Amino acid sequence: MKQASRIQKQMEDVQAALAARTVEATSGGGVVKVVAKCDGSIASIKVDPQAVNPADVQLLEDMILTAANSALTQAKDISTAEMGKVTQGFNIPGLM
């Protein structure tokens, strides 16, 4: 029980650290930049004003989607790795 309590505390600490940690992804050669937090949320989206072409909104939307998905994938990978360090060797069904 003490071990489970210790792991829960470690997981809470890791989750707090992940909420503060960010990753950045770009698309369109840096035209779109997305910053995601490692807790799975988007922190910011920046678009170069020169990329805004009313005649080609679909391209801009695709670049935003690509950068957002890339940032979220990076964030998820980091989160999975960090949480895995805490739970390594400890198998509780339904924990992760």
Residue 22 belongs to some domain of the structure: yes
Please report, for the domain that includes residue 54, its CATH number: 3.30.1310.10
The closest of 72, 1, 63, 83 to 36, measured between CA atoms, is 72
The answer to whether residues 24 and 35 touch, using CB atoms and an 8 Å cutoff, is yes
32-37 and 22-27 strand pairing: antiparallel
Residue 55 belongs to some domain of the structure: yes
Residue 94 belongs to some domain of the structure: no
Domain span at 7: 2-87
The model carries a pTM of 0.73
Residue 92 belongs to some domain of the structure: no
Q: What is the pLDDT of residues 22-79, one digit of tens each?
A: 999 999 999 999 999 998 899 999 999 988 888 988 999 999 999 999 999 999 999 8
Q: Into how many domains does the chain fold?
A: 1
Residue 93 belongs to some domain of the structure: no
Residue 96 belongs to some domain of the structure: no
